[in-house]
Amino acid sequence: MSLITSCPACSTVFHVKPEQLSLRRGIVRCGECQHVFNALDHLHEAETVAPETVAPETAVPETAVPETVAPETAVPETAVPETAVPETAVPETAVPEAVVPEAVVPEAQPHAAEAHITHQTAPHIPAQPSWHDAAPKSKLQTVLVQPKTVPWLSGLFALLLVITIALQLAYFQRNALALAWPESKPYLQQACAMLNCKIELPRDASKLVIDDANLLEDSDYEGLLILTSTLINQARHVQAYPQLELTLTDANDQAVLRRTFTPAEYLPAGTVVEKGIPAGKELPIKLLLTADHQTVSGYRLFVNY
């Protein structure tokens, strides 16, 4: 049996195919009133009526004039022509309500008299079977139903996105954040303990100045050199203690000895290295070193990280 459905808005009946129903889960648009509905909710099988058996007519001599039948003014949708042939396929085009189908003589009667119907502009339409209700139409459109978005779900996604971006900024800018907001440093340190990172003080060597540097040979111990200097932090914030790089040169200004001193080696005993050098702090430095029997004429002293 064929499948038909009807529009709940205008009661128009349509032929439907399984592929139409499965394309958008049965959501279709009526071709008459443009109403969108679910064809599955109004789906039922159409019962076909077997065509009447037409008895063969007696042969008419060739000189006989065929009888003509005047067309009727209107044919109800459920009317079935008496000479209708069993349907072989359901046409997909809409059937006009006021069109009179042309009578067709069965091919099994070669000597039967031909019947002719005269009409003005009606197109040739194959015979339709009789249905238990109005003749179905095929002007049915499949529509795409957009899924509805949930407002609160979009807001939750936006909130999670903002939190993720804020956490990423806090991770990569943790040093600057701890410097600008010292109260946050304990919390940042706790977070870094879980993320295997650490909070570091700023390291800007251009804001560190070495002043009053002087290299002398100890008068009591031969080969012992004494370096005195002052380290000044010109930045407006605390900075990490730098390393001091000392290069001893000969008379031709060629390096004969180079050594790097860590903060623990040049800072006074008891200094907490992790706290850094405060802003504007002037730190006196005194280093003792040996030249390893090298002739020293000059030196170069730098700070670096």
Tens of pLDDT, residue by residue, the chain (305 residues): 578 888 898 988 888 888 777 777 888 888 889 888 888 888 777 665 555 544 444 444 444 433 444 444 444 444 334 443 344 444 443 433 433 334 334 444 444 334 343 444 545 555 444 444 445 555 556 555 555 666 888 889 899 999 999 888 888 888 888 878 888 888 888 888 888 888 889 999 999 999 989 988 888 887 788 999 999 999 999 999 999 999 999 989 999 889 999 999 999 888 999 899 999 999 999 988 887 777 888 999 999 99
Residues 295 and 224 in one domain: yes
Largest interatomic CA distance in the chain: 157
Quote the pLDDT of residue 208. Answer: 96
Beta-bridged to residue 299, according to DSSP, are 248
Q: Give dist(CA 184, CA 169) in Å, integer.
A: 14
- 208-217 vs 224-233, strand pairing mode: antiparallel
In-domain check, residue 145:
no
In-domain check, residue 187:
yes
- Specify the number of domains making up the chain: 2
Residues 159 and 222 in one domain: no
Residues 225 and 291 in one domain: yes
Full domain range(s) for residue 214? 205-304
In-domain check, residue 48:
no
Burial 16-29, CB ≥16 within 10 A → b, else e: beeebbeeeebbbb
Q: Give dist(CA 299, CA 293) in Å, integer.
A: 16
Residues 223 and 300 in one domain: yes
Quote the pLDDT of residue 27. Answer: 86
pTM above 0.75, yes or no: no
Quote the pLDDT of residue 149. Answer: 62
What are the tokens at 260? 């790097």
Beta-bridged to residue 282, according to DSSP, are 232
What are the tokens at 112? 């039967």
User: Which CATH number fits the domain that encloses residue 251?
Assistant: 2.60.40.3230
Answer positive or negative: Cα dihedral of 188, 189, 191, 197.
Answer: positive
Quote the pLDDT of residue 85. Answer: 39
Q: Give dist(CA 201, CA 305) in Å, integer.
A: 11
In-domain check, residue 137:
no
